[in-house]
Structure 1
Amino acid sequence: MLEARRKWSWAFAAALLSLVVVWRAESAIGVNWGSVSFHRLKPSAVVDLMKDNKISKVKLFDADPDSLRALMGSGIQVMVGIPNEMLAALSSSTDASDLWVRQNVSRYMVKNGADIRYIAVGNEPFLTSYSGQFQSYVMPTLLNLQQSLAKVNLAGYVKLVVPCNADAYESSLPSQGAFRPELTQIMTQVVSFLYSNGSPFVVNIYPFLSLYGSSDFPQDYAFFEGTSHPVTDGSNVYSNAFDGNFDTLVAALSKLGYGQMPIIIGEVGWPTDGAINANLTAARVFNQGLINHVLSNRGTPLRPGAPPVDIYIFSLLDERAKSTLPGNFERHWGIFSFDGQAKYPLNLGLGSTGLKNARNIEYLPSRWCVAKPSGDLSDVANHMKLACSVADCTTLTYGGSCNGIGARGNISYAFNSYYQLQMQNERSCDFDGLGMVTFQDPSVGECRFLVGVTDTTSRPRSRYSTSSSSCYQLNRRWIIVWMLISWGAWGFVM
């Protein structure tokens, strides 16, 4: 019996070692692909954009059929998502989980089909603001889905994960990291399940939100170029918030007995507009620093030479129909603008030195709606309010790229945003005679007056739909920002 146990232990250790080798061999830079946009590009154009940029991994927030069909045969590895509000049904019925797997996974995993590698069970279901609302559903959903995957012979290929926000753990120093006391039991169960099934731990880390939410947060600590405010933790010194946050999670996992658990960064990025510190330069410096840091294989003090398995940049494209409750920056996370045009130079480390723009995008005619030069704009406030309540005017706010174009420029921008959203309908540029159509691009510097795309599927999904995981994603970001402001904290929870 003892000899048998030894043989089993060696076999198990060898299996784990081979698993680690596989994890490291497949490490990559991926992207999050959201679709809450007024002008939504055709999914096929987005897939071509990823292929042209050699992006091999993509994370979706749902299991959108159009996106999955477009991904079939692309060779891109996919993480599909299950919104939090679906967990109750999936946790209570194996029939429901069987149906979900058939409709959203196995039907696409055919010859030359979609390469679905992960199913994200919920989106940050343990977030403090949810007050345990989804907590009891997570484990039953994982168990049901694992059975459902086994029934279609996919349990060994498609891995279940649970994307967590960094507020699931806490500490004053990385080495003291621990999951929140009320989560200890459920996190032990979840992590044990994930580990036993060869799944990684997925976490979302946002140094930008730490900087945005606290005036005490050292700006240079959010980036990767060194800091005058390092954090010393015993013999370890942290020069950036990302490493500190990551190692806080490592310590929390270690306390549960899973210190070697593979970790994936499900979301990380920097917005380009809509707030102070949200600009093209900062986004480029952060994202390039992040990519270089991860691909250098330096790792972190608690995991030297072992960077995250993968990182998914948030996000691929701007989503300019998202709620602005967390902040106006929420619509500007993309490394590409809504039309697939690169915002700034970025080397993804994937064999290309820069980003390649989307091809064959069908735009509306090159014309814009602006305020009449001779018009009396004294009563324009209601028109602007209407236009901006429907279209996106977030670049006009303090810290935005169009904040300095003057009053008449602000009015023109609002008029044009509405006009493009209405597919350049002639009447949508009237505004009681205050608007006019021009064929001269009114863009000024970095303030870009947009022209819409002609894609007929370019209407946004409802920002208030209970079936959209994006609503939960937006709400939790707002709550995180609010908590940071309230606490005045900037440590390692973001």
Structure 2
Amino acid sequence: MLEPRCTAALLFLVALWSSALVAESAIGVNWGAVSFHRLKPSTVVDLLKDNKIQKVKIFDADPDVLTALMGSRIQVMVGIPNEMLAVMSSSTDISDLWVRQNVSRYMVKGGVDIRYVAVGNEPFLASYSGQFQSLVMPALLNLQQSLAKANLAGYVKLVVPCNADAYESSLPSQGAFRPELTQIMTQLVSFLNSNGSPFVVNIYPFLSLYGNSDFPQDYAFFEGTSHSVTDGPNVYTNAFDGNFDTLVAALTKLGYGQMPIVIGEIGWPSDGAIGANLTAARVFNQGLINHALSNKGTPLRPGIPPMDIFLFSLLDEGAKSVLPGNFERHWGIFSFDGQAKYALNLGLGNKLLKNAKNVQYLPSRWCIANPSSNMNTVANHIQIACSIADCTTLNYGGSCNEIGAKGNVSYAFNSYYQLKMQDERSCDFDGLGMVTFRDPSVGDCRFLVGVTDKTSASSSRYHGYHWWVKVLFFIIQGICSFVF
């Protein structure tokens, strides 16, 4: 029998829970959802099917998303955020619960084809200063036991997506994991190899170009370069091959040179920075797809392309952090509303991308600067609007950077107005704003109209809350059992 204090704590959690009720490369995509304007998951799944995309990677296990994927036959990689690694590594009871709630329940006849569980996302990133390093292996071992209990260990594979900063070298053939990661990487690749899992890596030539003014621009693409890298008998003409083979060399040093490799994230943003534009994004992504589907492989793996390649990303995510750069909100091959940004052949049967269907938009109206108003006091209003809504296209290098001062004001006002679901009061700005029914978009600078669906984001928050209440229940129960 539980001690009264524990009973009270567990009853409190129950109350919280109740109150919450109020061999050839295959091309896939990352489906992120950090957006102010989220499409219905069913709309996104239809978009995937219309474009014959058969592999998708998500960053959590959102029940709305997984429910929408049921019966689609799309292969899915679900994710466990870094912030959950500590609790996942602490108890097999908790990992058992997570597997039951987020994997087993969906893997039924006519359900979801979950192939991978990503344990963390770039947990060894240098900027994390080892914060998650000691948690990865315990979490993996617990989750592997939980999958085995559910009779899924032979089908669902655990992986750990790593950033390319996990390894380093001046030449690909000399690639090695960072010295402080040697021990954990040895354990990780041994675990992956034992369980038939690939090594998942995220490679971003754009970030190499963005972060280094001396990086040769043409080396980032696949169109040929005047800055090739010679490494013994091998010549590298693009950054992707060089980076990939650096990983191959690092794995070889650990004795796992033949381990299958999946590209978990790769892409090019279309806005928000110099070099991030529609043309560059199209050229990079099309070059990458053509290169992968040619099955040429790389100098260290000739004829063996990556096992899978997940483009980053499917949709723009206008609520992402811009600490790395304003481009972070513009990686999608589709805009936030599922409209193709540029012509792209994924090599999956369609020659061009097909737009999302039956998207439910707000009415065709926009908030702009009132031309008859004095704009001397507008700066504070712009600052407030852009601190809440997305104004990243207005910055240097962005698609709306050259629309003039009045245009900048209108863009900021409209972004806020659409975020507020076109609430009439949100276009006031002390009399400086006005509603128009004429689209103020200029060239590539698109003034958006929001979508009406808001259920997904609130539902996701509820389910995340629901999950953590369950975890807290287990933790308190475990502490009480130990202490009393």
User: Would you say 1:161 and 2:147 are equivalent positions?
Assistant: no
Contact 2:64 2:460 in 1 (8 A): no
Residue 224 of structure 2 aligns with which residue? 226
Contact 1:39 1:460 in 2 (8 A): no
Contact 2:37 2:336 in 1 (8 A): yes
- Choose which of 361, 367, 370 in structure 2 pairs with 1:369: 367
Contact 2:62 2:460 in 1 (8 A): no
Residue 75 of structure 1 aligns with which residue? 73
Quote the Cα distance in structure 2 between the aligned partners of 1:95 and 1:275: 46
Q: How does 1:77-476 map to 2 (within 5 A)?
A: 77-457=75-455
State the superposition RMSD in angstroms: 1.4
User: Would you say 1:44 and 2:42 are equivalent positions?
Assistant: yes
Contact 1:371 1:436 in 2 (8 A): yes
Quote the Cα distance in structure 2 between the aligned partners of 1:131 and 1:454: 41
Quote the Cα distance in structure 1 between the aligned partners of 2:456 and 2:258: 44
SS of match in other structure, 1:78: strand
1:435 maps to amino acid: G
SS of match in other structure, 1:418: helix
Quote the Cα distance in structure 2 between the aligned partners of 1:460 and 1:436: 30
1:96 maps to amino acid: I
Quote the Cα distance in structure 2 between the aligned partners of 1:327 and 1:29: 26
Quote the Cα distance in structure 2 between the aligned partners of 1:280 and 1:86: 36
2:414 maps to amino acid: N
Distance change >3 Å, CA 462–CA 430, structure 1 → 2: farther
The TM-score with structure 2 as length reference comes to 0.90
Quote the Cα distance in structure 1 between the aligned partners of 2:450 and 2:124: 38
2:173 maps to amino acid: S
| Deviation (angstroms), 1:171 | 0.6
Quote the Cα distance in structure 1 between the aligned partners of 2:404 and 2:119: 47
Q: Residues 346-378 of structure 1, C-alpha deviation per residue, up to 9 Å, x if partnerless?
A: 000000000000000000010001111111111
| Deviation (angstroms), 1:459 | 5.0
Q: Residues 66-96 of structure 1, C-alpha deviation per residue, up to 9 Å, x if partnerless?
A: 1111111111000000111111111121111
Contact 1:164 1:204 in 2 (8 A): yes
Distance change >3 Å, CA 121–CA 458, structure 1 → 2: closer
| Deviation (angstroms), 1:136 | 1.1
Residue 18 of structure 1 aligns with which residue? none
Quote the Cα distance in structure 2 between the aligned partners of 1:457 and 1:41: 9
Quote the Cα distance in structure 1 between the aligned partners of 2:68 and 2:371: 45
1:36 maps to amino acid: V
| Deviation (angstroms), 1:126 | 1.1
1:314 maps to amino acid: F
Contact 2:64 2:456 in 1 (8 A): no
SS of match in other structure, 2:103: helix
SS of match in other structure, 1:30: strand
SS of match in other structure, 2:455: coil
Q: Residues 225-252 of structure 1, C-alpha deviation per residue, up to 9 Å, x if partnerless?
A: 0111000000100000000000000000
SS of match in other structure, 2:271: coil
Contact 2:64 2:459 in 1 (8 A): no
Contact 1:39 1:458 in 2 (8 A): no
Residue 14 of structure 1 aligns with which residue? none
Contact 2:55 2:76 in 1 (8 A): yes
SS of match in other structure, 2:230: strand
| Deviation (angstroms), 1:460 | 8.0
SS of match in other structure, 1:266: strand
Q: Aligned pairs, how many?
A: 441
Residue 62 of structure 2 aligns with which residue? 64
Q: Residues 243-272 of structure 1, C-alpha deviation per residue, up to 9 Å, x if partnerless?
A: 000000000000111110000000000000
Q: Residues 279-324 of structure 1, C-alpha deviation per residue, up to 9 Å, x if partnerless?
A: 0000000000000000000000000000000000000000001111
1:131 maps to amino acid: S
Quote the Cα distance in structure 1 between the aligned partners of 2:358 and 2:275: 33
| Deviation (angstroms), 1:456 | 2.6
| Deviation (angstroms), 1:457 | 2.3
Contact 1:201 1:264 in 2 (8 A): yes
1:379 maps to amino acid: T
Quote the Cα distance in structure 1 between the aligned partners of 2:451 and 2:39: 8
1:411 maps to amino acid: V
**Unaligned stretches of 5+ residues in structure 2:** 1-22, 466-484
Identical aligned pairs, as a percentage? 84
Contact 2:417 2:426 in 1 (8 A): yes
Q: Residues 186-205 of structure 1, C-alpha deviation per residue, up to 9 Å, x if partnerless?
A: 11111011011110000000
Contact 2:364 2:437 in 1 (8 A): yes
| Deviation (angstroms), 1:44 | 0.4
Quote the Cα distance in structure 1 between the aligned partners of 2:458 and 2:101: 23
Contact 1:73 1:113 in 2 (8 A): yes
| Deviation (angstroms), 1:329 | 0.4
Quote the Cα distance in structure 2 between the aligned partners of 1:459 and 1:396: 26
| Deviation (angstroms), 1:458 | 6.1
Quote the Cα distance in structure 2 between the aligned partners of 1:460 and 1:336: 23
Quote the Cα distance in structure 1 between the aligned partners of 2:53 and 2:446: 27
| Deviation (angstroms), 1:137 | 1.1
- Choose which of 31, 34, 39 in structure 2 pairs with 1:33: 31
| Deviation (angstroms), 1:140 | 1.2
Quote the Cα distance in structure 2 between the aligned partners of 1:399 and 1:268: 21
Distance change >3 Å, CA 195–CA 179, structure 1 → 2: same
Quote the Cα distance in structure 2 between the aligned partners of 1:64 and 1:461: 9
Stretch of structure 1 that moved more, 425-434 or 260-269: 425-434
User: Structure 1 runs of 4+ off > 3 angstroms?
Assistant: 458-463
| Deviation (angstroms), 1:436 | 0.8
1:438 maps to amino acid: T
Q: Residues 168-218 of structure 1, C-alpha deviation per residue, up to 9 Å, x if partnerless?
A: 111110000011111111111110110111100000000000100010000
**Unaligned stretches of 5+ residues in structure 1:** 1-23, 468-494
SS of match in other structure, 1:379: helix
